[in-house]
Amino acid sequence: MGTGGRKEPRERLTYGSVVEGLLRHGLQGQVPPGLRARLQRIGVDVERPLLPAYPLPVWLHCLWAIIEELYPGQPPEQAFRALGARTTEGYSHTLVGRAIGVLTRMLGPRRTVLRIPQLLASTDNWSRVEVLERGPCHFELWHNAALGTPGYLEGVLEALLREAGAKEPRARALELGEAHTLYELRWGDGLTRAPG
């Protein structure tokens, strides 16, 4: 799998609507003073209007700070998966996210998965994704990133599939490369078929 059609930008950026989705909506006011101070030191001031975009390293440091503060003692993969779901749920309250929510509910799970390359393009300037349908309710998704946030994109994808109407969605990493990750997505009838 390869390029997904998007050129690599000079600087990888995460759009402010994603940051807004998590910090203003997904965490539902659960940003205690200690976390607020940490985020400010990292470069995200939740007391001021958010920037249009943040460098990817700033966003990743934010995610780590949040799981360390809000999910202490939990394994990182479990904490990141929960945080990924909260990101998707919060993003659905942003202007862009509301439109995507309407679209995913209209499309249903299968066509939503086929649209993931375009959907992720609304969240950052660098994601490249390729989708391969393996069978009914069973897909593989190649993403041009290995970000060191195990479980995060899995949580994002499961919440997105739930929003699209999928029953019991499951996302898991199949392969972690130096600069890519291959995920498996299953739901409904796809859960009862043997992996292959």
**Tens digits of residue pLDDT in 28-81:** 878 999 999 999 999 999 999 999 999 999 999 999 999 999 999 999 999 999
Strand order in the sheet with 129-135: 129-135, 138-143, 181-186, 170-176
**pLDDT beyond 60 at 193:** no
pLDDT for position 189: 78
Sign of the torsion formed by the C-alpha atoms of 60, 61, 62 and 68: positive
**Tens digits of residue pLDDT in 130-157:** 999 999 999 999 999 989 999 999 999 9
Alpha helices in 11-55 (DSSP H): 16-20, 33-42
Distance CA 93, CA 176 (A): 31
SS3 label, residue 94: coil
- Whether domain 95-190 has CATH 3.40.50.720: no
Domain assignments of the chain as residue spans, ordered by start: 13-76, 95-190
pLDDT for position 19: 96
